[in-house]
């Protein structure tokens, strides 16, 4: 049912794109808009992961260059019944993470150095479990495709305003629909998909990781850090904000946010923890002290970061 709803929303976006093309160029405009939408869908299907990773200047790491982070993701993937995805690190102080790829066999997960600097090992594991839940639910491709079409609708509307703004014969109502209503509708559809899938990925993360409290703790830290530290990628391309585990721009607490309110997500995770009989602060919610005697499984998050030397 979730996949069916997504396909219906994508079909609605494509139809909206065609309607905008018809408004601006008649039957020929609608045909061109349909061909452009189809072309974008095909291109994004095969290149979604490359587009997103290149946008963030992400660097792939493996078991040799980042043994703890890669091993953590590999273990969670096996627990989730997924192929081990490619693992990427982004050298950025902005604390966030995302997953991309057209299917579980071609997936990638990425985290910033800023995220690894503020989370404990178990919190990092919970975040990676969230991203793997996106992969398992096949959210990654849909979100990228939706953002691409929504952005194209806004671009086409701007072209229409530029090329037909002085055309006195143009239908004023149609132009208003093309320039204002169509991009707004596309944005609403994109946000609706994002919010629904974030709740689904949170539930999946709790299932894969086993303790919802760690993801709740991670979300608190990430939301606070992301609101303080700018994200240059999302600033240049706002459509990318829907990809992250917490909003890339601002807070997820308004009608126009790409994410549900973080407080609501945390409350839902805490409710799940209560149903599992887990109460109070989870163990290792804070980074462990930096002591040589600490066993590898309890080392602070900085040990997961290959760019930071102990």
Write out pLDDT tens, residues 130-139: 999 999 998 8
Can you give the pTM of this predicted structure? Answer: 0.77
Query: Tokens standing for 137?
Result: 């639910």
Position 53 in a domain: yes
d(CA 302, CA 91): 13
d(CA 126, CA 145): 26
- Residue identified by tokens 């590999």 is 74
Position 97 in a domain: yes
Average pLDDT over residues 259-263: 89
Position 299 in a domain: no
60 is known as an active-site residue: no
On whether the CB atoms of residues 97 and 112 are closer than 8 A, the answer is yes
Position 308 in a domain: no
Phi and psi dihedrals of 69, rounded to 5?
-65, -45
3-state secondary structure of 9: helix
Position 274 in a domain: yes
Residue 168's pLDDT is what? 47
Position 51 in a domain: yes
d(CA 93, CA 226): 9
- Catalytic residue, candidates 131, 198, 263, 286: 131
| pLDDT tens-digit readout, 146-169 | 766 666 666 666 665 555 545 544
- Answer whether residue 283 shows pLDDT above 70: no
Residue-number span of the structural domain to which 221 is assigned: 2-280
As a whole number of angstroms, the longest Cα–Cα distance in the chain is 79
DSSP 278: -
Position 16 in a domain: yes
Q: How many domains does the chain have?
A: 1
- Residue identified by tokens 């320039």 is 179
Give one word for 172, left, alpha or beta, with left for phi > 0 and alpha for psi -120 to 50. alpha
3-state secondary structure of 248: coil
| pLDDT tens-digit readout, 37-80 | 788 778 877 887 888 899 899 999 999 999 999 999 999 999 99
Q: For the chain, what is the radius of gyration of the CA atoms?
A: 21
Position 295 in a domain: no
d(CA 155, CA 153): 5
């Amino acid at each position: 049912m979730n996949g069916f709803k997504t396909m219906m929303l994508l079909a609605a976006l494509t139809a909206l794109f065609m309607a905008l093309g018809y408004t601006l160029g008649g039957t020929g405009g609608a045909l061109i808009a349909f061909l452009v939408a189809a072309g974008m869908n095909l291109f994004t299907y095969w290149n979604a992961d490359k587009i997103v990773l290149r946008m963030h200047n992400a660097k792939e790491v493996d078991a040799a260059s980042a043994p703890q982070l890669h091993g953590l993701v590999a273990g969670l993937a096996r627990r989730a019944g997924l192929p081990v995805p490619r693992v990427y690190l982004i050298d950025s102080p902005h604390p966030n993470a995302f997953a991309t790829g057209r299917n579980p066999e071609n997936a990638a997960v990425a985290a910033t150095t800023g995220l690894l600097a503020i989370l404990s090992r178990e919190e990092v594991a919970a975040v990676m479990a969230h991203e793997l839940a996106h992969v398992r639910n096949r959210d990654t491709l849909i979100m990228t495709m939706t953002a691409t079409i929504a952005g194209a609708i806004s671009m086409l509307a701007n072209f229409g305003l530029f090329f037909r703004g002085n055309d006195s014969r143009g239908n004023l109502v149609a132009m208003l629909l093309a320039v204002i209503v169509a991009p707004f509708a596309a944005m609403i559809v994109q946000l609706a998909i994002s919010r629904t899938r974030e709740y689904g990925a949170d539930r999946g993360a709790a299932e894969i990781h086993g303790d919802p409290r760690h993801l709740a703790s991670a979300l608190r830290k990430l939301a606070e850090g992301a609101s303080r530290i700018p994200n240059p990628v999302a600033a240049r391309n706002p459509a990318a904000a829907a990809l992250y585990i917490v909003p890339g721009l601002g807070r997820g607490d308004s009608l126009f946010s790409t994410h549900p309110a973080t407080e609501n997500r945390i409350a839902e995770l805490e409710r799940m923890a209560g149903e599992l009989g887990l109460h109070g602060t989870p163990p290792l919610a804070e980074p462990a002290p930096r002591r040589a005697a600490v066993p590898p499984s309890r080392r602070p998050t900085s040990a997961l970061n290959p760019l930071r030397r102990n």
